[in-house]
Structure 1
Amino acid sequence: MTPDQFIATYAPAAQRACAGTGLLASINLAQAILESGWGASGLTRSANNFFGIKAGKSWRGPVVTLPTREQRPDGTLYTVQAAFRKYPTPEAAFQDRVALFRLLPRYHRLFRVDTVAAEAQLLKDCGYATDLQYPAKLVSIVKKYNLTRFDS
């Protein structure tokens, strides 16, 4: 799938998931691009999981267990086996991302910012990703593909 095809296919799901929440569809879509490798990751292909969302203790749905790379605050990379949420459809993954942010108090600050840079930085600060360059990567994707056109 080309970048244009990916964006055309999944931008509507990102917009629907973020509508009326204060979250930016551009960041939602950029995360899907980054986390799924444009939909090519094994996690996305096997579980419709575009966001690398792990199956925590409260998850009651199906899971898939795969290796994942994490990064310590000092920059050291390591690999762990993790259980990830499995979704019936891509749309369900986009919706669940927003539901997770509403559910977990550590993400509530995301609903109070309104810029791409601020939302990207807060995703890192709230513990969504361990990659030290995560905010910069998201902002770069948003800019390169003009994803702000999907923000309402």
Structure 2
Amino acid sequence: MYFKPTQRENSIHFSDLLCPSLEKLKGTLQINYKVDFEWLINQYQFKHVDSLPITIVGGDGSLFEEYMKENFSPQITHYSPNMERGLHHTKIGIHLYDDDSLRVIVSTANLYQEDWDTRNQALWLSPRCPPMNDDSTNNGDSPTGFKNQLLKYLKAYDIECLNRG
């Protein structure tokens, strides 16, 4: 297994983001430029959430196909972003929880061991965002317009599963 204990005090490892203390996961979306599929799935296995739906946008599609041939994982869906519009360097996760709340995670690390062990300099976790109800003001958006900007960004990928608002 690729898991290494956290080497610095007060640092976070990728698998910590999958911890039930943040809430019980229902599924995740990972958008990233470089993905080591085996390492990533090992992180989910370490926290015993590898049977949940995982959608990955990014990484090398041929490496994903190779990984899937060796390790059939029906819960994993992979999409390669359209690179005609430029280079894709996103490093974002969206975690959906059992109560239909979600959390957005933005990082400086790609999804492979070396980045998380030695190069991740920044990590932002949104507060847990509850599902909206009819009484939500501003359509559930913040004063900065983060929700609308994130939805616009996801729609630009032109991938059906990301176009659900």
TM-score (norm 2): 0.26
Which one has the largest radius of gyration?
2
With a CA cutoff of 8 Å and minimum separation of 6, indicate the structure with the bigger relative contact order. 1
Q: Which structure has greater strand proportion?
A: 2
TM-score (norm 1): 0.28
